[in-house]
Structure 1
Amino acid sequence: MSQQHSNAVVVTGIGALTPVGNDREQSWSALLAGRSGVAEITRFDPEGMPTRIAAEVKGFVPEDHFDRKRLRRSERFSQYAVVAAREAVRDAGVEIGGDPQARVGVQINNAVAGFPGIEASTDRMHEDPRKVSPYFVSSVIPNMPACEVAIDLGVHGPVNASALACASGIHALLEARRTILAGEADVVLAGGTDSAITPVMFTGLSTMGALSTRNDAPEQASRPFDTDRDGFVFGEGAVVFVVESAAHAAARGASPYMEVSGGALTSDAFHVSAPHPSGEHAETAMRRALAAAQAAPEDIDYICAHGTATRINDKLESAAVRSVLGEAAGQLLVSSPKSMVGHMIGAAGALSAMVTALAMRDGIVPPTINLDTPDPECGDLDFVPHMARKTDVRTALVNAFGFGGQNVVAVLRRV
C-alpha cells in the first residue's frame, strides 16, 4: 500500500448472496458471463398479477446455516446478512468476536425491513391472534440484520442500521468509513440486505407502474439504458464487506480489495418516488463525491451505474454522468449489474460496490445485458453491452439513487 493511503479506509473481505450465486465468486462468475438471475416468482403464486417475475436468491436453505431456534426468531433479510457477513469475515481472515473491548462495529442497511413477516403475521392475526409469533416484532424491525450479525459474530462495538431506500447499500460503506475515521472503530462489517418478494409488495409496485411486465421472457426483462426498457425487476439478496482502517489491515498483513476514498449524499427534496426532473441533485452528489475523494473526472475509469431500467432514471443518470464528467465521460466504461440481478433494493448499492471491487481485482468489467438498442436519450456512453470487457479499473464511481430523492455516490480506488 502506498504511503499516501496509509491512513485510508479499505475493504479486505466480501461476502454475498445474490440472484446469480450463493457466494461472492459464484456471483462474480455469473455476472461476467452475462447470466441473468431473473425468472418466474417461486416465493408465492403470481398467477393473475401484472408482474410474475423476480430476481430471487436460489438454492438458499436456511436450515443449512441456522438451528431451529434461530430460524423461529429471524426473517430472511437477516439470514442473508448473517451468511454474507460470515463469508466476508472468512475472506478477510480477521478475528472479529469475543472481546468486549475490540473496536469492531456493524453497519448493515436495508430498505423495506421484514416485509414478508409483516404480511404473514397479519394473515395469522386475522385467522387467530395466538398464531402471531412472540418474535414477530423483533424479527421484522429494520435494525435486526445488523443486530443479528453482531450477535452471530460477537461484535460489541457500534451497531447501526439506516434506511435510504435503494441507496441504502452503498451508504453503509460510506458510514463505515465515517465511523472508522471518527475513531469509533478499527473494523466495521458493512453492507446491505433485503428480501421482500411478496404479493403486497408486488401489487403496490405494479400499481405505480414501476415493474417490468416482460413475463414471457424473464431473462430479457431487465434492460437498463435500452429503448425497450419497461421498468425494473425486483430482486433480493445481501452483500457485506469487512471495512478496516488501512493501518489495521497493514498490521495484520491483509491485502485490500480497494480503498473507500470518499462519497456524498444529497436530496432531491422533490417527490416520494420520482427523481427531480433536472437531475441536478444527483449531479451535485457526484461532484461532491469526486471532491471528497480528491479525484478529477479524468481519473474515473468505470462507473457502476444505478441503471434501474426505468424510463426516467436511466435518462437522468446518463445526463448527470455527462454533465459532471464532461469529455472524460466518453473515455470510461459504464455498466449496470441490475440487468442480471434485478434491483436488490437495500442491497443494490452494496452489490455495485462488490462488482467494482472485483473489477479492480481482475481487470474486467461485467456487461449490461439486454442492451440491444441503446436509447438515444441516454446519450452515447459506453454501457458495455452484452459482453464483459477487459480494462484496467483504478478509480470508479458507484451511483445509487433511492425513493424520496436520496442520492448517494461513492468513489472507490484500487490499492
Structure 2
Amino acid sequence: MLHRVVVTGLGAFTPLGPDIPTFWQNVVEGRSHVAPITRFDASLYRTRFAAEIAGFDPAQYLSRADIKRTDRFTQYALIAAEQAIHDAGFDLTTMDPFDVGVIWASGQGGTETLEEQTTEFAQGDGHPRFSPFLVPKVLVNLASGMISIRHGFMGINYTPVSACASSNSALMDAFNYIRLGKAKIIVSGGCDAAITPSSFGGYCAMKAMSTRNDDPATASRPFDVERDGFVMGEGAGALILEEYEHAKARGATIYGEMVGAAMTGDAYHITATHPEGIGATRAMQLALAEARLNIEELDYLNAHATSTPVGDLSEMKAVAQLTGHRKTGLHISATKSITGHLMGGAGAIEAIIGILAMRDNVIPPTINTTERDPAIPESLSIVFGDALQKPVNTVMSNTFGFGGHNGIVVFRKI
C-alpha cells in the first residue's frame, strides 16, 4: 500500500525576502528585486545585474562555527530549512530520528568557496595553503548533511543533482520514499548561490542571460517577443513532506497533498530544451496520470519559463500538446519574472508558490511582458500583469535542467 504525502511546513530565503510572508507578498504583488550586481565588479561583464539577496549577513542567522564551515549555498539552505521545520512544528524528542530524513538539492554547490580558494592559490607563492574546510564547503551534498547534523535527523540523507530541475528531483524522491513507508518526514527543497565572478561569467559566455542592463527590473520577460535571456537569482526554498496519517495524528497544519511527480530526459542537447517539448510533454502527462487528474482538472501551472527565446516557446508547445491545443480552465504564470532564476533552488521556490496559490486562491502574475510572442499558442491562458483571483485546487510546477532533465511535480488541496 502506498502512503499519502502532505506538505506540513514551508521556508524561503530569497531576494524577495527572508521569510515566507514577505516572499509571498512580493510574488503576488509582482515586485521584482532585480538590480545591478553588488557582490563583485561586473562592469566589464556582458550582463551586469541579478536578483541578489541584498545585504546578507550570515551572523544574523548562524553560529560562528557554522559560518566557518559552510559556503553561502549551505547557509541559505540552513536558514530556509530552519523556517520550514519550525513551521511544521514536529517534536523530534517524541519520534525515532531515523524516521526523519533530508533530501536536499543544489545545482552547483560551493562555487563561491572554490573560486575564492583557487584565486588565493593562483595569486600566492605556490605553496598549497588551502582551508581544511575547502572540500566540505564545496561538496554539493553538504547542505543536506548540515541540515541533518544541525537537527539530529538520522533518516535517509542525500542530494540529487539535475541542474535547474534539481529541486523537483529532490521533491519527487522524498515523495516516493514516504509513499513507500521508508520515512515519516523528509525535509526537502533546494538552493543555489551562483552569483560569483566565474559562474556568472560562464553564463555570460553562453549568452544565456538577458543583457537589458539599462533596465534590469524588467529584464526577465517570459513569453515576450523581445525576451533575450534569463536573470540569475539565488536563495533557498524548503518543504516538509510528511506521511498523511502521521501528520493528522499530531494535528499538523496541512498545506496540501503531493499527488504526482515525474521526470524524463530530452536526449537532445547539453543546454537547449527540445524545440518541440517532447520530453516535457511526456513528463507532464506522467505526473498527471500519477495524480489521477485529467488536464481539465488542473487549475494552475507555474511554468519553468526563464525568458529565453528557445526555452519559453518549447515549453508552451509542450503545454499546448498536453491540453490538445484547446482552451481549458488552466492558467499559467512564470514567476521567474519576479524572483529571478534560483537555479537549483527554483523548483522548491516555485512549488511553494503553487502551494500558497492553493491556500489563498490566487495565481501570481507574469510581469514585464509587453507584447506576447505570437508563436506562443493562443489556446494557452497566461496571467500577465496582475495576480488573478480564482479557486485553485490543483497545481503543477515545471522545471527543466541543462542536460535535458525534465522534472514535474503536482499538488492538490486537501
Identify if the C-alpha distance between structure 1 residues 326 and 96 changes in structure 2 by more than 3 Å, giving closer, same or farther: farther
Q: Secondary structure at the match of 2:324?
A: helix
Q: Residue 342 of structure 2 aligns with which residue?
A: 344
Q: Residue 105 of structure 1 aligns with which residue?
A: 101
Cα deviations by residue, 1:83-126 (Å, 9 ceiling, x for unpaired) = 10110011111124796644000011010111111110101112
Q: Assess if the C-alpha contact under 8 Å between 2:2 and 2:180 holds in 1.
A: no
Is residue 90 of structure 1 aligned with residue 86 of structure 2? yes
Q: Which residue identity is paired with 2:291?
A: A
Between the two proteins, the alignment pairs up a number of residues equal to 411
Is residue 14 of structure 1 aligned with residue 4 of structure 2? no
Cα deviations by residue, 1:288-316 (Å, 9 ceiling, x for unpaired) = 11111111010100000001000011001
Q: Which residue identity is paired with 1:399?
A: N
Matched residues in 2 for 1:310 and 1:212: separation? 8
**Worse-matched range after superposition: 183-192 or 5-14:** 5-14
Is residue 402 of structure 1 aligned with residue 401 of structure 2? yes
Q: Assess if the C-alpha contact under 8 Å between 2:296 and 2:328 holds in 1.
A: no
Cα deviations by residue, 1:238-273 (Å, 9 ceiling, x for unpaired) = 000111010110010112111110111000111111
Q: Assess if the C-alpha contact under 8 Å between 1:339 and 1:370 holds in 2.
A: yes
Q: Residue 246 of structure 2 aligns with which residue?
A: 248
How far apart are residue 278 of structure 1 and its match?
Answer: 2.5
Aligned match for 1:378, one of 376, 394, 409: 376
Q: Secondary structure at the match of 1:376?
A: coil
Q: Which residue identity is paired with 1:201?
A: S
Is residue 272 of structure 1 aligned with residue 281 of structure 2? no
Matched residues in 1 for 2:97 and 2:104: separation? 21
Aligned 1:345-364 pairs, distance under 5 A? 345-364=343-362
TM-score for both structures, normalised by structure 2: 0.96
Q: Assess if the C-alpha contact under 8 Å between 1:112 and 1:142 holds in 2.
A: yes
Aligned match for 1:50, one of 24, 40, 46: 46
In structure 1, runs of 5+ residues without a counterpart are none
Q: Which residue identity is paired with 1:389?
A: L
**Worse-matched range after superposition: 17-26 or 100-109:** 100-109
Q: Secondary structure at the match of 2:7?
A: strand
Aligned match for 1:28, one of 5, 19, 24: 24
In structure 2, runs of 5+ residues without a counterpart are none
Matched residues in 1 for 2:191 and 2:351: separation? 13
TM-score for both structures, normalised by structure 1: 0.96
Q: State the identity %.
A: 42
Q: Secondary structure at the match of 1:105?
A: strand
Matched residues in 2 for 1:178 and 1:370: separation? 37
Q: Secondary structure at the match of 1:10?
A: strand
Matched residues in 2 for 1:329 and 1:137: separation? 52
Q: Residue 64 of structure 2 aligns with which residue?
A: 68
Q: Secondary structure at the match of 2:223?
A: coil
How far apart are residue 328 of structure 1 and its match?
Answer: 5.8
Cα deviations by residue, 1:66-99 (Å, 9 ceiling, x for unpaired) = 2222211100110111110110011111124796
Q: Residue 311 of structure 2 aligns with which residue?
A: 313
Q: Which residue identity is paired with 1:147?
A: G
Identify if the C-alpha distance between structure 1 residues 288 and 94 changes in structure 2 by more than 3 Å, giving closer, same or farther: same
Matched residues in 1 for 2:155 and 2:14: separation? 28
Matched residues in 2 for 1:79 and 1:159: separation? 18
Is residue 232 of structure 1 aligned with residue 244 of structure 2? no
How far apart are residue 382 of structure 1 and its match?
Answer: 2.1
